[in-house]
Chains A and B, each alone.
Chain A
Amino acid sequence: MSFTILGTGSALPAKTVTNDDMAKLVETSDEWIRTRTGIRERHVITDESVTEITFTAAQRALEMSGVSPQELDYIICPTVGGDWISPSLACMIQERLGATCPAVDVNAACSGFLYGLDYADGIFARKRAKYVLVAAAEGLSRLLNWKDRSTCVLFGDGAGAAVLGEGDSLRYLHLTAKGSLALHVPHAPGESPFETNEQPPHGLVMDGREIYRFAVSTITAELRRASEETGIPFEKVDHVLLHQANQRIMDAASKKLHLPPEKVPSSIARTANTSAASVPILLDQEARLGHLHRGDILMLCAFGAGLTSGTAVLEWTRD
Chain B
Amino acid sequence: MANSETLARLEKIISEYKDDLEPGTLTPETTFESLDFDSLDIVDMMMACEDEFGVEIPEDAQLKTVQDLLNLIDKTEE
Give the B-binding residues of A (Cβ under 8 A).
Answer: 35-36, 208-210, 212-213, 216-217, 248, 252
Beta-carbon contacts under 8 Å, B33-56 to A: 38-40, 43-44, 46-47
Whether B47 contacts A216 by the Cβ 8 Å rule is yes
A208 touches B39 (CB 8 A): yes
In the complex the two chains form, what is the Cα distance from A301 to B30 in whole Å?
37
Question: Given A213-B47, A216-B47, A217-B47, are A36 and B40 neighbors across the interface (CB < 8 Å)?
Answer: yes
Q: Are B43 and A212 in contact (CB under 8 A)?
A: yes
State the main secondary structure of chain B at its contact with A.
helix
Note all chain B residues with C-beta closer than 8 A to A210. Answer: 59
Q: How far is the CB of B13 from chain A (nearest CB, A)?
A: 12
Q: Which residue of A lies closest to B46 (CB)?
A: A213
> Which of the four size classes fits the interface of chain B?
under 10
Cβ-defined contact, A36 with B38, below 8 A: yes
Chain B positions within 8 Å of A, measured between CB atoms, are 38-40, 43-44, 46-47, 59
Q: Which of A35, A213, A216, A248 contacts B59 (CB 8 A)?
A: A213
B44 — which chain A residues lie within 8 A by C-beta? 216, 252
**B-side contacts of A208, CB under 8 Å:** 39
A183 → B minimal CB distance (Å): 14
| Nearest-CB residue, chain B, relative to A217 | B47
By beta carbon, the residue of chain A nearest B42 is A209
> For residue A36, which residues in chain B have a CB less than 8 angstroms away from its CB?
38, 40
Is there contact, CB below 8 Å, between B40 and A248?
Answer: yes
A85 to B39, CA, bound (A): 36
Contact A35 B43 (CB under 8 A): no
In angstroms, Cα B44 to Cα A260, docked, is: 19
Bound: A216/B43 CA distance, A: 10
Closest 5 A/B residue pairs (Cβ) = A212-B43, A248-B40, A209-B43, A252-B44, A210-B59
Residue of chain B at shortest CB distance from A216: B47
A82 to B47, CA, bound (A): 36
Q: Is the CB of B38 within 8 A of A35?
A: yes
- Chosen A-B contacts, 20 in total, with CB atoms closer than 8 Å, are A35-B38, A36-B38, A36-B40, A208-B39, A209-B39, A209-B43, A209-B59, A210-B59, A212-B40, A212-B43, A213-B43, A213-B46, A213-B47, A213-B59, A216-B44, A216-B47, A217-B47, A248-B40, A252-B44, A252-B47
Q: Measured between alpha carbons, how far is A210 from B39 in the docked complex, in Å?
A: 11
Complex Cα–Cα for A248 and B39 (A): 12
* Smallest beta-carbon distance B36→chain A, Å: 10
How far apart sit A46 and B47, CA to CA, in the bound complex (Å)? 40
Question: In the complex, A114→B47 CA distance in Å?
Answer: 26
Please give me the residue from chain A that is nearest to B51 by CB atom.
A256
Which B residues are in CB contact (< 8 Å) with A212?
40, 43
